[in-house]
Amino acid sequence: MVSTQAAAPSERAYIGPMIVIGVLFFIFGFFTWLNGPLITFVKLAFQLPDTYAFLVPFAFYISYFVFSLPASALLRRIGMKKGMALGLFVMALGAFVFAEFATRREFAGALSGLFAIGAGLSLLQTASNPYVSILGPIESAAQRMSFMGICNKLAGITAPILIGALVLHGIGDLDAQVTAAAPAARAGLLNAFAAKIHTPYLVMAGVLVLLGIWVLRSGLPEIKPSGANDEHAIGHSGRSIFSFPHLWLGVLCLFLYVGAEVMAGDAIGTYGAGFGLPLDQTKFFTSFTLGAMLVGYVAGLVLIPRFVSQQRYLAVSAVLGVLFALGALVTTGYLSVGFVAALGFANAMMWPAIFPLAIKGLGRHTEAGSALLVMGICGGALIPQAFVHLKEVIDFQLAFAVLMVPCYLYILFYGMRGHRIGQHGAA
């Protein structure tokens, strides 16, 4: 059993830190799940095809690959608390940059803002995920992570609805007007539409700055990961991070999971549009996926670890993912979209299970291992890119299934076997 007593606070002391981190996970969710509506936004505002519009999640998620290891090194120098605050300030800068360039309809500049937001989030994720995992016993980490997931997905449900109401309201009619308008009138319509994004993102930038100040002034305690996640209990000397195969298998698992999650959440609007469903409906589809994820998190909070282990729940979730992906393939229209949204339920407990299983027993390598796992979030950049290009040459439903089913099969392998490889005597 992994020792969690060396540095983790007592169970009663969890409450305050959990509230602070819960607020941060709400922020993660709000910005992460704006990408789906933003794909719809940039397609119209910048008059882009799907292949270019999907650069929105690419720019956002690829920043995790670029910045996670530097974030780990920075956190070792300044600590988790200051690192979280810095992440919020970087996100605020990115939100400001996105607002300015999106309003001017300069696509490259807007993408740079999203890249900066992702950079700030990579710092936050690299600090907060291991923090939650080792705040208490590692065996119940998925339960704590499921609470964070509820905060995350409540934000994820709210974000598309809010942006849909403030920015994308009447987008179907506007699309028809833009198509029929003369060039000069078209430019005026698109400029006015793009300007709608400015105020919401400036407000978000201001909120992020205030939250950063709040985190700095909070009583959030520092936890030393190497003391709270001792590798000696599972038979490793810890001389090299390469002596933990379950970590490296977990990085690939998280890569595939995040890709599948983004496909179900951000690509669902494009998926629905493949059936000819109206824009005024597809703009809300991300919220349906996030609603299903919220239900999944509540189920995980109740069931783990009292009734089922986090690794067993991960395996069951992967089986559901395969079944729902195949269900989407063999149906059409709203029913097929419903199966895609149902993937949210299957996905819900995957991150909370994969992350603690992958960092279990890393000891002094916990920060570096966490950074490698956060780098795996770039799956959200690459797998949707594969989808948007693949659907240009084969049917979009088949392209979706060809990518999703193998992802879930590997996650099934990790939940049943992969997380135990190299852990002598581990459960």
Query: What's the rounded Cα separation, in Å, for the pair 197 and 182?
Result: 24
Helix axes 245-265, 379-390, angle to 10 degrees: 50
User: Please, which residues have CB within 8 angstroms of residue 27's CB and are 6 or more apart in sequence?
Assistant: 88, 91, 124, 155, 208, 211
Mean pLDDT of 54-63: 95
Beta strand segments in 35-87, E: none
243 has pLDDT over 50:
yes
Q: Give percent of the chain above pLDDT 70.
A: 88
Choice among 214-228, 280-294, 391-405 with the minimum mean pLDDT: 214-228
User: Please, which residues have CB within 8 angstroms of residue 324's CB and are 6 or more apart in sequence?
Assistant: 339, 340, 342, 343, 346
How do residues 112-159 score in pLDDT, each as one tens digit? 999 999 999 988 888 877 677 666 665 566 667 767 777 877 888 888
Query: How many C-beta neighbours within 10 Å does residue 48 have?
Result: 16
Query: How many C-beta neighbours within 10 Å does residue 335 have?
Result: 11
Task: Please give the residue that has the higher pLDDT: either 70 or 331.
Answer: 331
Tokens of 232: 């000696």
Task: Please give the residue that has the higher pLDDT: either 190 or 357.
Answer: 190
Mean pLDDT of 161-179: 90
Q: Give percent of the chain above pLDDT 90.
A: 51
Choice among 142-156, 174-188, 331-345, 394-408 with the minimum mean pLDDT: 142-156
- Residue ranges per structural domain of the chain: 11-218+242-420
Query: What's the rounded Cα separation, in Å, for the pair 200 and 217?
Result: 26
pTM: 0.83
For residue 339, give the nearest of 397, 384, 379, 385 by alpha carbon.
397
Q: Which pLDDT score, from 0 to 100, does residue 137 have?
A: 64
pLDDT band at 20 (very low <50, low <70, confident <90, very high): confident
Choice among 93-97, 161-165, 319-323 with the minimum mean pLDDT: 161-165
Long-range contacts of 33-36 (CB under 8 A, 24+ apart): 33/155, 33/156, 33/157, 33/159, 33/160, 33/265, 33/266, 33/286, 33/290, 34/159, 34/160, 34/163, 35/60, 35/114, 35/262, 35/266, 36/160, 36/265, 36/266, 36/267, 36/268, 36/269, 36/285, 36/286
235 has pLDDT over 50:
no
User: 11-218+242-420 belongs to which homologous superfamily?
Assistant: MFS general substrate transporter like domains (1.20.1250.20)
Q: Which pLDDT score, from 0 to 100, does residue 3 have?
A: 39
Distances (CA, A) of 311 to 114, 232, 367: 34, 21, 22
Q: Which amino acid would we find at residue 320?
A: L
Helix axes 285-303, 35-45, angle to 10 degrees: 170
Handedness of CA 126, 247, 400, 26 (dihedral sign): negative
263 has pLDDT over 80:
yes
Q: Which pLDDT score, from 0 to 100, does residue 2 have?
A: 38
Choice among 43-57, 121-135, 304-318, 363-377 with the minimum mean pLDDT: 121-135
Q: Do 133 and 381 form a contact (C-beta atoms < 8 A)?
A: no
Choice among 46-50, 264-268, 298-302, 378-382 with the minimum mean pLDDT: 298-302
End-to-end CA, the chain:
9
Mean pLDDT of 325-343: 97
Beta strand segments in 227-346, E: none
Q: Which amino acid would we find at residue 381?
A: A
How do residues 191-204 score in pLDDT, each as one tens digit? 999 999 999 999 99
110 has pLDDT over 90:
yes
Mean pLDDT of 237-248: 78
